[in-house]
Amino acid sequence: MAQTQILSRNQQIVLDIIEKAKGPLKAYSILFNVQKKGINAPQQIYRALDKLIKIGKIHKIESKNAFVACTSSNCEISKATAFSICEKCEVVDEVSDAKLSKFLLKFNDKKGMKFKRFNLEFFGLCKRCKIK
Amino acid sequence: MAQTQILSRNQQIVLDIIEKAKGPLKAYSILFNVQKKGINAPQQIYRALDKLIKIGKIHKIESKNAFVACTSSNCEISKATAFSICEKCEVVDEVSDAKLSKFLLKFNDKKGMKFKRFNLEFFGLCKRCKIK
DNA sequence: TAACAAACTGTTATATTATAACAATTATAA
DNA sequence: TTATAATTGTTATAATATAACAGTTTGTTA
């Protein structure tokens, strides 16, 4: 059983904000939102983000330099992350597909590299934007 | 037949440097390397990079904010990019695998999103670093 | 070939994202 | 208890990227 990770104060504050958000949040936007709680410096945000990523509570959307809460219960250690990103409205969803993860985690490089982890970002138009 | 794209002076200079490099290059490292050629400002680099990405000559490694030359002849328009990244020596290779691209390009989201493009980054240890 | 549009250039300034370095405090474990 | 790891707070700065403006070159087409 995965034990519930005990987070420090700053880590919990940052996680709460990311979990409440409807989309990916940028580090400095998180910062502006927590200044009333006494967090004043980027370092404090980045340290919390680093930890939250490490324990799989959040993920970084690399193409956007933004952070989302993990919505896939089984990535305590995120070695297989995939996201869909709408190029129009910028909505981001975590893609959680067993077949996809399996396929990619067992994928073998021709160069003899052993993969431990992957991150996949799909781009396109979401259902809503496709119609418009 | 894909016509050979005619590049502007700055675009060619930037492409040459990236093609000669052994690994991913960062924008400012490119800048320092081309100052002797009269390119002085970040904008000039980023504009060239944008164009080169657009026409598929180079790719951005999102997790590293760095740029590599395309080594897969058939991504004039890069809608399917995959890379392997060694977490130790940081060597990056483009993964060119028809089965992989096919699988991912036809992958269907449960949310009804139409994917046009993806970028995949694998992390692990390369052959050399695995041994050590 | 004139004349218009598109793409590119150069430049200055500034915005955005992220880390370094140092000192103090709190939590964990031996 | 003591020491060690993790976290905090803080100031400063590094690294990455874009905005905005003005001029030039290239390509298109009338």
Distance from CA of B92 to the nearest CA of A (A): 11
Whether A14 shows a pLDDT value over 90: the answer reads yes
Give the Cα separation of A131 and A109 in Å (integer): 38
A109-132 pLDDT, tens digit per residue, is 888 888 999 999 999 999 999 886
Nearest-5° angle of CA A50, CA A56, CA A61?
70
Indicate the pLDDT class of residue A74, thresholds 50, 70 and 90. Answer: low
Bridge-based pairing state of the strands B114-125 and A114-125: antiparallel
Whether B99 shows a pLDDT value over 60: the answer reads yes
Whether B83 shows a pLDDT value over 60: the answer reads yes
Q: Which position has the higher pLDDT, B124 or A73?
A: B124
Indicate the pLDDT class of residue A2, thresholds 50, 70 and 90. Answer: very low
Bridge-based pairing state of the strands A92-94 and B92-94: unpaired
In chain B the first and final C-alpha atoms are separated, in Å, by 45
Please report the residues numbered 35 through 94 in chain B whose beta carbons come closer than 8 angstroms to any beta carbon of chain A: 62-63, 84, 86-87, 93
Task: Of B22-36, B59-73, B74-88, B107-121, give the lowest mean pLDDT range.
Answer: B74-88
Domain membership of residue A27 as a residue range: 9-131
Task: Of A70-84, B43-57, B75-89, give the lowest mean pLDDT range.
Answer: A70-84
SS (H, E, C) B43-66: HHHHHHHHHHHHCCCEEEECCCCE
Task: Of A58-62, A72-76, B3-7, B35-39, give the lowest mean pLDDT range.
Answer: A72-76
Give the Cα separation of B68 and B14 in Å (integer): 11
Question: Which of A118, A126, A127 best probes binding to B when mutated, by most B CB atoms within 10 angstroms?
Answer: A118
> What one-character DSSP code corresponds to residue A117?
E
Closest CA to A129 of A81, A92, A82: A92
Residue B105 is predicted with a pLDDT of 92
Residue type, B45: I
Domain count, chain B: 1
Give the Cα separation of B84 and B95 in Å (integer): 6
Residue A78 is predicted with a pLDDT of 77
Task: Of A7-16, B24-33, B76-85, give the lowest mean pLDDT range.
Answer: B76-85
Determine, yes or no, domain membership for A44.
yes
Query: For residues A37 and A91, is the Cβ–Cβ distance under 8 A?
Result: no
Interatomic distance B63 CA / C11 C1' (Å): 30
- Of A62, A93, A114, nearest to B124 by CB-CB distance is A114
Interatomic distance B28 CA / D16 C1' (Å): 8
Verify whether the Cβ–Cβ distance B120 to A123 is below 8 Å. no
Instruction: Give the residue carrying structure tokens 């695995």.
Output: B130
- The CATH number covering residue A71 comes to 1.10.10.10
Asked whether the whole model's pTM tops 0.75, one would answer: yes
Determine, yes or no, domain membership for A4.
no
Determine, yes or no, domain membership for B2.
no
Determine, yes or no, domain membership for A3.
no
Indicate the pLDDT class of residue A76, thresholds 50, 70 and 90. Answer: low
Give the Cα separation of A117 and A126 in Å (integer): 26
When pLDDT is averaged across residues B60-88 and rounded to a whole number, the result is: 89
Average pLDDT, chain B: 91
For residue B34, how far is the Cα from the chain centroid?
A: 19
When pLDDT is averaged across residues A81-109 and rounded to a whole number, the result is: 93
The CA–CA distances, whole Å, from B55 to B6, B40, B49 equal 11, 24, 10
SS3 A80: strand
Residue B66 is predicted with a pLDDT of 98
Determine, yes or no, domain membership for A2.
no
Average pLDDT, chain A: 91
Six-digit token string for A91: 């909505």
Kind and range of the H or E run holding B15 = helix B9-20
Residue B130 is predicted with a pLDDT of 83
Determine, yes or no, domain membership for A95.
yes
Whether B100 shows a pLDDT value over 50: the answer reads yes
Determine, yes or no, domain membership for A115.
yes
Give the Cα separation of B90 and B129 in Å (integer): 10
Phi, psi of B66 (to 5 degrees): -140, 165
Residue A83 is predicted with a pLDDT of 97
Determine, yes or no, domain membership for A1.
no
